[in-house]
Structure formats: structure tokens, C-alpha cells
Amino acid sequence: MPAVRGELDDPGVRDRAVTDDLDAIVHLAAETSVLGSVERPALVQRTNVEITAALLELARERGVSTFVLASTNAVVGPREGVLTEEVPLAPMTPYGATKAAGEMILSGYSGAYGMRTPALRLTNVYGPGMHHKDSFIPRLLRAAADDGEVQIYGDGLQRRDLVHVSDVAKAFANAVAGWPSGPVIVGSGHSHTVLDLLETARDATGLPISARHVPPKPGEMPAVVVDNSRARARGWDPAVSLLEGVRSAWADFSPAARS
């Protein structure tokens, strides 16, 4: 099948991309900035909900029986303790709300039409190819490359689970091959503080990255600690350590990569 390039908000692009000879759709496209969603909620709604619904309906009409969604643990909002797939949906930002809506649309199509619709709740994805991202790892690496400074919201003790993009790719391949409908958490299973991430970036780059603490932003989860046992039970296992992963991302940002 030839590649179809374009914006998914164009019905013509969707029409050319979703054809009746497809075995599955892996839907990765989204507005993913949590803080950006607070500033641009209407855009996030159109992109993450309306386009997802339009693609899913095309898949149903054209007999594409599998639709895999890139979702997020932000669908459950703040929680003390470990996140599992059974935690009730309670998003605290427009981004999380739109991804929760996407999961519910998939659930409806699975129940009504028998489509297989796994939703992979990704933790913070990182690795090569992050120049366009505004998440914390690329901010750290830009600061290292430019001899700049990174801002840390609050005390930096908020915890994050990071999963490398190569491990995420394996999870999506497994999901297409046979994971059942419903949510599944895809994360490393290891939680690191923001200060830990700063020290790891310093180790990976060999540079003394400057940091400045600023007031916390609304919508930030204080801790992300996940249980990835459902994904592991389905044959997926993360393989890339945090230090290895940050080094792989640094290869794109380092001064040597620019020369």
C-alpha cells in the first residue's frame, strides 16, 4: 500500500488512508502536551476525540476489525499508590479527558460491532526523535546541548515512569497480533523522581545541566507509579534501561549530531 501523507483532520486524507484491505489500524496521532491542552482545549478535543471517532467509524464501515489506540495513564488523574487498569477514569486535564473519551468510544465499538480495540495506556515515552517534543527529557537534553537551563516544577520530587520508544513499538506490535479489547498499561514499571531524571541526563551527556525550580503547574500528577503486569502477562517486557534510553535520545541533540 502506498504511503498517504496529510493531516487527519482532512476527510479526504482519512478516506485514502483507511482502506478495506487493512488488517489493523494503529492510531498514534494526537495532541499530546498536557500543559498545552490546558491552553488549547478545543483543539485537543477535535484532534483527540473527533478524529479518533471518525477513523474508527471508517474502520467499521470498511471491515477493518482491529483498532489499537495510543492512550495514557492521564485518563485516571491523580492517585495515591499504584496505577492499574482497574482504577476509575477521573482525568484532571483536557488531554486526559480526551484520551478517556477515546477509550470509551473504542469500548462502544468493541461491544456493538465486535471490533478488537486495545488501548495502550503509555507512561512517558522517550528516545530518539524527540526534537519536536516539550516533555521533560527533551527539555533536559536541549539544556545540555545549548549550555542552557532547565526548569523544574515544584520540588522535583514528583515521580514519573518512563518507557523507551523501542519498547513501546514492541507493545504495539504485540497488541496488533492479538491483544484483546480494553486498556493495558505500557510502562517500565520503575518510578523516578524528576531530580533522578536530571541526574541521569547529566550522566548520559557528561554535562553539568543547570536547573532552576519554579512554581508547580496545574494538572501535573504528583506521582506516576504503574503496574505493568497485564502487559507482561501478554508477552511484553521492557528491555531498555533509563540510562541507556537517555543516551539514545542524546545522540540526536548532542553537538556532534549537529556537525
In three-state secondary structure terms, 51 is: helix
Strands of the 118-122 sheet, one edge to the other: 24-27, 66-72, 118-122, 182-186
The DSSP bridge partners found for residue 152 are 213
Give the three cell numbers for residue 174.
Answer: 504485540
Query: 153 catalytic, yes or no?
Result: no
Place of cell 496488533: 176
CA dist 103 and 111 (Å) reads 12
Catalytic residue among 95, 109, 113, 126: 95
CA dist 137 and 198 (Å) reads 9
Alpha helix (H) residue ranges in the chain: 11-17, 34-39, 41-45, 51-61, 94-113, 136-146, 165-178, 194-205, 229-233, 242-253, 255-258
Active site residues: 95
